[in-house]
Structure 1
């Protein structure tokens, strides 16, 4: 049996002088959570560190935890400057 799982991770480097938090908000509010034909990501978060934005979205029925991605991001970058969640 073939199945699909909704999962997407995006890293964006924002130009210096641009509003990084506004970019994160635009990403979380503009992303199509149903970009896949037969599945939908119902958990979505953006986190910002410096000029880097990470967007992660997954299906809550997946065995992985969205917080693990954020924890791994923090482990690499050191700290989060801004965070947004969409339900």
Structure 2
């Protein structure tokens, strides 16, 4: 009798373990996971959390930064941060920028409406964002991409921009759209050289 009870308990324990493992596997297959956590970027809170995570990962190389939610009903403000002229497709906007405006750094998470043409908006950012918006400094590099309907871009010096951009790609498990980039020097017109006198 004791032997039969032991066998029954062992069989029940094995079935329970298999059921638990099965539930965990199914649950993990239904979520995109990065380092064991689900990637969900849908709200301003999610975007702010993502930018804070990227900053904390690169805190040792980046200047002191703060995240800020931007009022998307103010089209002038949206344009000043993104270069986008037609702001009607913008749902939410969160920026990560220096506390001191003399440091060229801006990381932006921009959620667009589901019917927006993401590639057109990304091109508009690439072509119109002001890479010289800071006092006495300009960004060397601009990277633009998207994760679903979240457009992410960063502009800064080469090292800061690359570190931030790579952290974003890692955060979303490299599930990104078309990548665009631009160097700040492409827009700078230098004066004619004059011979030394």
TM bracket (short chain) = 0.7 to 0.9
1:48 pairs with 2:146: yes
1:66 pairs with 2:161: yes
Query: Which residue is 2:180 aligned to?
Result: 84
Q: Which has the higher contact order (CA 8 A, sep 6+)?
A: 1
Instruction: Tell me the alpha carbon deviations over residues 4-28 of structure 1, each in whole angstroms, 9 at most, x when there is no partner.
Output: 3210111100100111111111111
Q: Which has the larger radius of gyration?
A: 2
Q: Secondary structure at the match of 1:27?
A: helix
Counterpart contact for 1:11–1:53, Cα < 8 Å: yes
CA distance in 1, matches of 2:119, 2:168: 16
Give the length in aligned residue pairs.
81
CA distance in 1, matches of 2:122, 2:176: 12
Query: Which residue is 1:17 aligned to?
Result: 115
Higher share of residues assigned strand: 1
Counterpart contact for 1:56–1:69, Cα < 8 Å: yes
Question: Normalized against structure 1, the TM-score is what?
Answer: 0.82
CA distance in 1, matches of 2:140, 2:118: 24
Q: Secondary structure at the match of 2:179?
A: strand
Question: Normalized against structure 2, the TM-score is what?
Answer: 0.39
Please identify runs of 4+ aligned residues in structure 1 that moved more than 4 A. none
